[in-house]
Amino acid sequence: MKILYFDCFSGISGDMVLGAMADAGVDIKSIKKELKKLAMEGYDLKVSKVKRKGIKGTKVDVVVDKKKHFHHTSYKDIKRMIERSRLSKKIKEDSLRIFKNIAEAEAKIHRTSVDNVHFHEVGAVDSIVDVVGAAICINILSPDIILSSPINTGMGMVKTEHGILPVPAPATAEMLKGFPSYSSNVEFELATPTGVGIITTMAKSSNTMPNMKTNVIGYGAGSKDFSESPNLLRIMIGETTPSTPLFKKGGMGGFEHDSITVIESNIDDMNPQFYDHIMSRLFKEGALDVFMTPIIMKKNRPAVKITALSENDSVNRLADILLGETTSFGLRMYNTERVKLEKEIKTIKTEYGNVKVKIGKRKGAVISITPEYEDCKKIAEEKGIPIKYIYEKIISVAKIKE
């Protein structure tokens, strides 16, 4: 499985994304060729090799002809331009998703509708090139999964067309909701609306670097050269290591896959009545699954290992619950990859009434059918029929309908 990992230790901006991609080997001529399909003139891409704190990187600048430059562009204008372009369907879809993400954040901050949003800085030619260029690069690389480290936002204030605003800027902060971020002591806007729009749309957050074999590394340089740290965006392109048979050469394919975090702790000194409440809270805060395993700890003490599976943007909330609600003094957390069947929930008509079923598929072929337990339980109680017969009947009906 091919992984594209963004290491945002010095934030992220649109030009840093393009620089990192070019530094990692994406042909700049191919990027320019695709961008011409936008039918937008008055700019050029300048590529240069630079150093930031002794580390070599690539700087990509969008050089704009000011006579043809337009500063204020609405979301509707940008959407129309992309839709009418000769770009591929996938690049169009990704570009529009990024701009919609930014537009929705701007609309919420300014209390207006998405269609009425005027982007100002984001609507400028260079940001259109950055967003569409990022979608082009990702399409060229074609990773199976895109992950990002927590994002360094910087600190201080930033000058915008709306005045002096705090870092991260309001729209940037809105897009970062649910996405791990932090502020270093660099007084600068490290994470721009364009960069954050790209990463929060295209990537999943990962608190740690994924378990991967890295093949290519690219560094995209920011405009400023800080004295404290290298102003670079690092991307790493690699593949999952064969830690399980599913990833071995010649192994099974056609599955969906994603990255999750496992959070666990061993507890030997807590009232077991508390687990019901704790499990309920974990599920309410987004846990994918929660389970308890009986174990034996030191001095032969019976204990429980509580484990929560989490999407990466829910990790902090779940960790707070476990440390606050249990007697644990610490948690183990590690990132892992999942492979899974394509899941579809359907409601089917049966002689007993409507019943939900969960259908698992691989490459379009049905692999598994599971009726909803609560629906089957209700029917069994109302009809006085053994629940196992209800299951068998619903599965047979679902197979016919598939």
CB neighbours of 64 closer than 8 A, spacing ≥ 6?
42, 43, 124, 125, 126
Between CA 177 and CA 183 the distance in angstroms is: 14
Residue 251 has pLDDT above 70, yes or no: no
* Paired strand residues for 51: 56
User: Are the beta carbons of 286 and 253 closer than 8 angstroms?
Assistant: no
The candidate with the shortest Cα–Cα distance to 367, out of 348, 346, 344, 390, is: 344
Q: Does one domain contain both 19 and 135?
A: yes
Shared-domain flag, residues 114 and 50: yes
Domain end: 186, 205, 240, which one? 240
User: Sorting pLDDT into bands at 50, 70 and 90, what band is 250?
Assistant: very low
* pLDDT at 247 (0 to 100): 38
- Considering the domain architecture, whether residues 233 and 296 belong to the same structural domain is answered as no
Is 138 in contact with 146 (CB distance < 8 Å)? yes
Task: Output the domain CATH number for residue 299.
Answer: 3.30.70.1380
Q: Are residues 377 and 295 in the same domain?
A: no
User: What is the model's pLDDT at position 189?
Assistant: 94
Confidence label for 65 from pLDDT (cuts 50, 70 and 90): confident
Work out how many domains the chain is built from and give that number. 3
Which among 150, 126, 154, 144 is positioned nearest to 38, based on CA atoms?
126
Residue 103 above 50 pLDDT?
yes
Do 14 and 120 lie in a common domain?
Answer: yes
Do 42 and 168 sit in the same domain of this protein? Answer: yes
User: Over the stretch 150-178, which tens digit does the pLDDT of each residue have?
Assistant: 999 999 988 776 678 899 999 999 999 98
The pLDDT of residue 243 = 47
Vertex 48 angle, CA 239 and 225, to 5°: 90
Average pLDDT, the chain: 88
User: For residue 311, how many other CB atoms are within 10 A of its CB?
Assistant: 17
Does residue 265 register a pLDDT over 90? yes
pLDDT score of 304 more than 50: yes
Nearest to 155 by CA among 194, 187, 128, 181: 187
Mean pLDDT confidence for 134-139: 97
Whether the Cβ atoms of residue 55 and residue 219 lie closer than 8 Å to each other: yes
Question: Can the peptide bond before residue 180 be classed as cis, meaning omega within 30 degrees of 0?
Answer: no
Query: Is 50 exceeded by the pLDDT of residue 27?
Result: yes
Are 101 and 211 within one domain?
yes
pLDDT at 131: 96
User: Measured in Å, how far apart are the chain's first and last C-alpha atoms?
Assistant: 30
Quick one: pLDDT at residue 252? 46
pLDDT in the model for residue 127: 87
Read off the tokens for 174.
């809105």
Question: Averaged over 217-243, what is the pLDDT?
Answer: 89
Q: Are the C-beta atoms of 295 and 322 separated by less than 8 Å?
A: no
Six-digit token string for 110: 């300014």
Which residue bears the tokens 């992309």? 82
Q: What pLDDT was estimated at residue 249?
A: 37
Identify the band that residue 248 occupies on the pLDDT scale cut at 50, 70 and 90. very low
Half-sphere exposure of residue 298: CA atoms within 13 angstroms, side-chain side:
0
Q: Output 6 or 72, whichever has higher pLDDT.
A: 6
174 plus 64 within the same structural domain: yes
DSSP sequence for 336-385: EEEEE-EEEEEEEEETTEEEEEEEEEETTEEEEEEE-HHHHHHHHHHHT-
- Per-residue burial over 234-269, b if 16 or more Cβ lie within 10 Å, else e, is bbbbbebeeeeebbeeeeeeebeeebbbebbbbbee
Who contacts 41 (Cβ-Cβ below 8 Å, separation ≥6)?
65, 68
Instruction: Say yes or no: 222 and 305 in one domain.
Output: no
pLDDT for the residue numbered 97: 95
Name the more confident of 279 and 315: 279
CB 148 within 8 A of CB 313: no
Mark whether 23 and 101 lie in a shared domain. Answer: yes
Please indicate, yes or no, if residue 245 is contained in any of the structural domains: no
More reliable by pLDDT, 113 or 70: 113
Give residue 246's pLDDT: 38
At 45 the three-state DSSP class reads strand
Domain of residue 125: give its range. 2-240
State the average pLDDT over residues 250-267.
75
Tell me if 337 sits within 8 A of 257, measured CB to CB: yes
Other residues' Cβ atoms within 10 Å of the Cβ of residue 90: 13
In a domain, 247, yes or no: no
Mean pLDDT of 104-126: 75
pLDDT confidence bin for 196, thresholds 50/70/90: very high
- Same-domain status, 15 and 130: yes
Higher pLDDT, 234 or 299: 234
- Asked whether residue 249 is domain-assigned, the answer is no
pLDDT at 69 over 60: no
Predicted local confidence at residue 42, as pLDDT: 82
Q: How far apart are CA 350 and CA 367, in angstroms?
A: 21
Residue-level pLDDT at 240: 75
Tokens of residue 333, six digits: 């957390």
Regarding pTM above 0.85, the answer is no
Q: Which residue has the higher pLDDT, 23 or 339?
A: 23
208/297 same-domain check:
no
